[in-house]
């Protein structure tokens, strides 16, 4: 730290200069991210609640109200009744809380969790932290977890089965409706990681995908407002069907305004609740359908453009994620794209390139990318 403070003007000028090094969503070059430019109202709401801390809820009853209302709206969207939950730091913490509750409810020695091979890498961290043994179930030909393989992995030590509604790499939706009877039969907790898909699937025009609390065995769902909810980071969401789950997460906070905390993170911003709340209020169902509809239209533009340029899609997109391969080295192509300023993900597991068509990715960006792709491939 320097001896004396600088003027606001100087500090801001320095920050602005450094900020220019960051990529901007508006450029339409970020095709690898599940986050996006927050909705303008999310930004305004965030500023308004910047100093609020849900870690000490007795001080911020207004923020608590917003969190409760957001959790209720998410639960209703996911066909839940009387659900409980919290806004947390992201999908990782949401998945962590779900498996912590499942593990603590089960009371078994050497606990295991059955995960799809396609599960997000957050589960690797979580298994490590919670001392859970991950048991991976294989996928079917369309990269969805195979329920028969899941059933074979279940044993006395299984504390939870996980399904993903919108996998990180391909955006496919596991057959949760087929995992539900397996979970019921073996009396095992079913957790759905809908971090990405939870705010896409309910707004799709045609697809009827059962993945939520309408299915009897589903005990918890991760759904992240800071992904397709266009809220400001950090806004993850964990929803539980039953209040009992929260008892397993309860930690006494003897000298705070409230007696207990239920999240892993202690101090957490109320601005997350405010920004999510503001987006929900501003868009409503109609607005979200429009946003998702546009993302799906742009997804189809990518898919059609890629196919007609001779690239192979790994799967037909279900959600707003496109994955493709090149006949001339996919990894190399991903590197060349990056050198030319296009940020795409290279997915080693499937040797493919992933494009996440978030709200900041517009039609004109898809056209520009497709035009550039053929040139870049030849480099
Ligand atoms: N579950 C699923 C299905 C996810 O896709 C993700 C993150 C998580 C859980 C974990 O969520 P948090 O990162 O909020 O804890 N999926 C993105 C991914 O890995 C995260 C991401 C976001 C990556 C923005 C890049 C990026 O620029 O692809």
**Could you tell which of 24, 38, 91 is best to mutate to test the pocket of ligand 1, judged by most ligand atoms within 8 Å of the CB?**
91
Nearest CA to ligand 1 atom 18: 168
**Helix residue ranges, H only, the chain:** 8-19, 40-48, 61-77, 91-106, 122-130, 147-153, 176-185, 244-247, 271-308, 330-339, 363-378
Task: Please indicate whether residue 196, judged by its CB atom, sits closer than 6 Å to ligand 1.
Answer: yes
Count the neighbouring beta carbons within 10 Å of the beta carbon of residue 174. 30
pLDDT less than 50: residues of the chain: none
pLDDT, residue 207, reads 75
Nearest CA to ligand 1 atom 22: 34
Task: Please indicate whether residue 282, judged by its CB atom, sits closer than 6 Å to ligand 1.
Answer: no
Nearest CA to ligand 1 atom 16: 168
**Could you tell which of 33, 116, 168 is best to mutate to test the pocket of ligand 1, judged by most ligand atoms within 8 Å of the CB?**
168
pLDDT, residue 152, reads 98
Atom of ligand 1 nearest to the CA of 354: 28
Contact yes or no for 78/199 (Cβ under 8 A): no
pLDDT, residue 133, reads 98
Distances in Å between the alpha carbon of 53 and those of 48, 81, 162, 249, 306?
13, 27, 31, 19, 46
**Could you tell which of 122, 197, 220, 231 is best to mutate to test the pocket of ligand 1, judged by most ligand atoms within 8 Å of the CB?**
122
pLDDT, residue 206, reads 84
pLDDT, residue 119, reads 98
pLDDT, residue 295, reads 98
CA of 254 to the centre of ligand 1 (A): 34
Packed helices 122-130 and 91-106: angle between N→C axes, nearest 10 degrees: 40
Task: Please indicate whether residue 237, judged by its CB atom, sits closer than 6 Å to ligand 1.
Answer: no
Q: Rounded to 5 degrees, what are φ and ψ at 156? A: -55, -30
Report the percent of the chain where pLDDT is more than 70.
100
Task: Please indicate whether residue 195, judged by its CB atom, sits closer than 6 Å to ligand 1.
Answer: yes
CA of 227 to the centre of ligand 1 (A): 8
Nearest CA to ligand 1 atom 26: 33
Atom of ligand 1 nearest to the CA of 197: 3
Task: Please indicate whether residue 118, judged by its CB atom, sits closer than 6 Å to ligand 1.
Answer: no
Task: Please indicate whether residue 174, judged by its CB atom, sits closer than 6 Å to ligand 1.
Answer: no
CA of 164 to the centre of ligand 1 (A): 12
Q: What b/e string do you get for 315-336 counting C-beta neighbours within 10 Å, with b at 16 or more?
A: bebbbbbbbbbbeeebeebbeb
Task: Please indicate whether residue 323, judged by its CB atom, sits closer than 6 Å to ligand 1.
Answer: no
CA of 229 to the centre of ligand 1 (A): 13
pTM equals 0.98
SS3 332: helix
> What is the C-alpha separation between 251 and 248, in angstroms, rounded?
9
Count the neighbouring beta carbons within 10 Å of the beta carbon of residue 372. 14
Task: Please indicate whether residue 175, judged by its CB atom, sits closer than 6 Å to ligand 1.
Answer: no
């Amino acid at each position: 730290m320097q001896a004396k403070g600088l003027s606001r003007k100087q500090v801001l000028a320095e920050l602005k200069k450094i900020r220019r090094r960051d990529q901007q969503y508006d450029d339409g070059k970020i095709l690898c991210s599940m986050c996006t430019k927050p909705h303008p109202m999310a930004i305004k709401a965030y500023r308004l609640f910047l100093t609020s801390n849900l870690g000490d809820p007795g001080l911020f009853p207004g923020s608590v109200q917003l969190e409760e209302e957001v959790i209720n709206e998410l639960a209703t969207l996911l066909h839940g009744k009387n659900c409980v939950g919290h806004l947390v730091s992201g999908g990782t913490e949401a998945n962590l809380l779900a498996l912590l509750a499942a593990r603590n409810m089960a009371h078994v020695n050497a606990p295991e969790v059955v995960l799809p091979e396609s599960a997000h890498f957050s589960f690797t961290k979580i298994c490590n932290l919670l001392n859970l043994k991950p048991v991976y179930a294989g996928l079917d030909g369309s990269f969805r977890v195979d329920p028969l393989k899941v059933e074979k992995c279940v044993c006395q030590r299984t504390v939870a089965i996980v399904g993903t509604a919108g996998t990180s790499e391909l955006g496919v939706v596991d057959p949760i409706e087929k995992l539900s009877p397996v979970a019921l039969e073996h009396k095992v907790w079913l957790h759905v990681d809908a971090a990405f898909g939870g705010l896409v699937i309910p707004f799709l025009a045609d697809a009827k995908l059962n993945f939520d609390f309408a299915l009897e065995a589903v005990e918890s769902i991760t759904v992240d407002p800071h992904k397709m909810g266009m809220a400001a980071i950090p806004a993850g969401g964990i929803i539980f069907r039953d209040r009992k789950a929260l008892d397993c997460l309860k930690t006494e906070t003897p000298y705070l305004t409230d007696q207990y905390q239920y999240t892993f993170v202690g101090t957490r911003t109320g601005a997350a609740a405010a920004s999510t709340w503001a987006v929900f209020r501003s868009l409503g169902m109609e607005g979200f359908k429009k946003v998702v509809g546009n993302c799906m239209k742009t997804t189809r533009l990518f898919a059609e453009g890629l196919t007609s340029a001779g690239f192979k899609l790994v799967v037909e997109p279900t959600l707003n994620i496109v994955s493709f391969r090149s006949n001339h080295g996919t990894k190399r192509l991903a590197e060349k794209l990056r050198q030319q300023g296009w940020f795409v993900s290279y997915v080693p597991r499937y040797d493919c390139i992933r494009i996440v068509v978030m709200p900041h990715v517009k039609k004109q960006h898809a056209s520009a990318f497709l035009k550039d792709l053929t040139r870049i491939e030849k480099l």
